[in-house]
Amino acid sequence: MTDSLDAVFRSQDGLVTRHQALEFLSDRALQYRLGRHWQVVLPGVYAGRIEPLSQRRRLRAALLYAGPQAMLSDTSALQLHGLPFVPDEPEVRVLTPATVQRLSRQFVVTKRSSRLPEPVVVQGLPTAPLTRALCEFALRHESERDALAVLAAAVQQERVTLTTLVAEAAAGQARGKPRLQRVLQQLALGVRSAPEADFMQLVGRSRVLPAPLWNCLVQLPDGKRLSPDALFEDAALVHEVNGRRFHAPDMAGEDTFEHMQRRHDALVAAGFVVLHNSPRRLMTDSHGLMRELETVYLRYAGRGLPAGVTLLRLGPGTQCHIASPISAKSRPIG
């Protein structure tokens, strides 16, 4: 093996393609190595040692198999981008140009695209831009709740904007688009986590509760500006979904679990009624939760916002048009 071939292996995580190997070896020498020292990972892709592949080498092998213009996408890209709530999948998913014929093989799932984006390099690997990878995931993945959790995290962390997601969705494929649009509609209403979406569905089924404001912005009499999860404005009633997983520093930025406790005290001191529930209770005791919420709402309905409180913004502040409203209770946001 020449120094140049060693350099190829070093630059590609210990992997080489057949075409690259034949630049330095004869076909006979290549066959000798394949039978004794090298491992066939994928058709035309070889590892310099016979051993189990790490996840990093699986990603590299998929890219080498799919061709020089291929890029990681979908869950494979989202994990590299470091987003939370991305489901673990055994497949490596790659985008390839529409003109390249590469079938899905073994652990590699290829998707041809006539609208290939310019890749970004993440951890040394060509990767679809985050907005494209998010939409690819939501278009394909069957669980709408999983898709909402991932896209909401990206928006909450300000890694992408709702506007760019809507634009990407409009330019993308038709298959899976209704599911993606429903997710974007919930984000447009102000939902910023899957548990908030669960709560939205519960409120939508209530015959008592009006549509709340989702993640609006209020200014308290002392000048503090806060954004509660859900505000029933005419009753000055706030509902918060309490979950350490969704309010950890790496997930929520300044909106940490500890910050949420201080926010509770500030809202109560200003005259709001604040109820809290965990994501678990939303799933296991939704009837009891709604009975309590409706009781409190009826007790205070009509009193309006406390004195000195100003409603600065009706929603999270992103305006964009998405077809097909998701609920008769939905209200526009500013």
Specify whether 108 is located in the same domain as 38: no
Specify whether 71 is located in the same domain as 173: yes
Give residue 187's pLDDT.
92
Specify whether 65 is located in the same domain as 165: yes
Give residue 326's pLDDT.
41
Question: Cα–Cα distances in Å, from 73 out to 1, 240, 243, 281?
Answer: 34, 34, 29, 35
Specify whether 147 is located in the same domain as 230: no
Residue range 146-166: mean pLDDT, rounded: 94
pLDDT tens per residue across span 222-270: 999 999 999 999 999 999 998 655 444 444 444 455 677 888 999 999 9
Specify whether 159 is located in the same domain as 206: no
Specify whether 65 is located in the same domain as 174: yes
Does 333 reside within a domain? no
Does 323 reside within a domain? no
Strand partners, 184: none
Exposure b/e, 222-261, CB count within 10 A at least 16 = b: eeeebbbbbbbbebbbbbbbbbeebbeeebbeebbbeebe
> In sequence order, what are the residues at sequence separation of 6 or more whose Cβ sits closer than 8 angstroms to the Cβ of residue 125?
59, 60, 63, 72, 80
Specify whether 150 is located in the same domain as 209: no
Residue range 61-88: mean pLDDT, rounded: 97
Specify whether 36 is located in the same domain as 115: no
Does 334 reside within a domain? no
- pLDDT above 50 (res 334): no
Number of domains in the chain: 3
Q: Coil, strand or helix: which one is 47? A: strand
Specify whether 65 is located in the same domain as 182: yes
Prediction pTM value: 0.81
Long-range contacts of 126-130 (CB under 8 A, 24+ apart): 126/63, 126/70, 126/71, 126/72, 127/71, 127/72, 127/73, 127/77, 127/80, 127/81, 128/71, 128/72, 128/73, 128/74, 128/77, 128/95, 130/77, 130/78, 130/81, 130/83, 130/154, 130/159, 130/160
Give residue 328's pLDDT.
36
Does 7 reside within a domain? yes
- pLDDT above 80 (res 22): yes
Give residue 257's pLDDT.
56
Specify whether 13 is located in the same domain as 123: no
Burial of 278 (0-12, 13-18, 19+ CB in 10 A): middle
CATH number for the domain harbouring residue 254:
3.40.960.10
Specify whether 45 is located in the same domain as 137: no
Specify whether 100 is located in the same domain as 179: yes
Q: Which domain holds residue 221?
A: 194-313
CA distance 121 to 128: 9
Give residue 150's pLDDT.
97
Strand partners, 137: none
Give residue 314's pLDDT.
87
Long-range contacts of 283-292 (CB under 8 A, 24+ apart): 283/198, 286/202, 289/202, 290/202, 290/206
Residue of 322 and 166 predicted with greater confidence: 166
pLDDT tens per residue across span 186-226: 999 888 889 999 999 999 999 999 999 998 999 999 999 99
